Amino acid sequence: MDKLTWRITGNGTITVRYSTYWDEPGPFATQLNSEHAFINPAMILMYVPDRRAENEEIAMPDVPSGVASSGRIPSYSGVDGACARIYFAATSYDALIDAPIELGKIDQFDLPGMTPPVSVVCMGTNGRRKKLRKSCGEFARMS
C-alpha cells in the first residue's frame, strides 16, 4: 500500500520474511556486530494493527553461550549445547517495542536510592565498566 504498510491476504498460516539493516549505533537504532546486539524492536518488527493488544514474544534460539541479555521486559532462557535460547515476553506489541534489548558481555547494575529505580547496562572493557559504575554511583548520591 505504501513503503510502511503491507496488505497480505490468505488463509491459515502465513509466513513473511523481510530484511532489516542492523548497523546504526544509538538509542533509536539497531546494531549487530561481533561485540553485541542492541535491538530496538520498534525499528525491526512488524505488527498487525488489530492485534497489537495480544501477548508477544521474541525468541532467540541460537545465542552463543556466555552472552547476557538485558531489557525492560521479562526474559527467560535455557541452554542447548553450545548455544543458549533467550525469550522475551510482553503483554502487548506496544510493551514489546517500548523495551530495547542488549545482548553481549554486559554489566548491569541499579543506581542506589533512585525513585523510580534506574538500571544501567554497559558493555566494554572491565576498566570502563568500573569507571562508569563509580561515576553513576556518584551521580545517584547527588540526586
- 31-32 and 36-39 strand pairing: antiparallel
- Please indicate, yes or no, whether residues 24 and 71 belong to a single structural domain of this protein: yes
Same domain, 95 and 113: no
Structural domain total, the chain: 2
Same domain membership, residue 99 and residue 118: no
What single letter denotes the amino acid at residue 113?
G
Do both 32 and 95 map to the same domain? yes
Do 46 and 110 fall into the same domain? Answer: no
Per-residue pLDDT tens over the stretch 27-81:
778 888 888 888 888 888 888 899 999 999 888 888 887 777 777 776 767 776 6
pTM of the model: 0.71
Residue 31 shares a structural domain with residue 10? yes
Residue-wise pLDDT tens digits, 92-126: 999 999 888 888 887 777 877 778 877 787 776 66
Whether residue 128 is found in the same domain as residue 64: no
Cα–Cα dist 13/44, whole Å:
21
CA-wise closest residue to 75 among 60, 97, 54, 53: 60
Question: 26 and 88 share a domain?
Answer: yes
Q: Are residues 87 and 117 in the same domain?
A: no
Enter the DSSP assignment of 24.
-
Contact 9, 16 (CB under 8 A): no
Same domain, 117 and 97: no
Whether residues 94 and 109 share a domain: the answer is no
Domain that holds residue 114: 105-143
Question: To the nearest whole number, what is the mean pLDDT of the chain?
Answer: 81
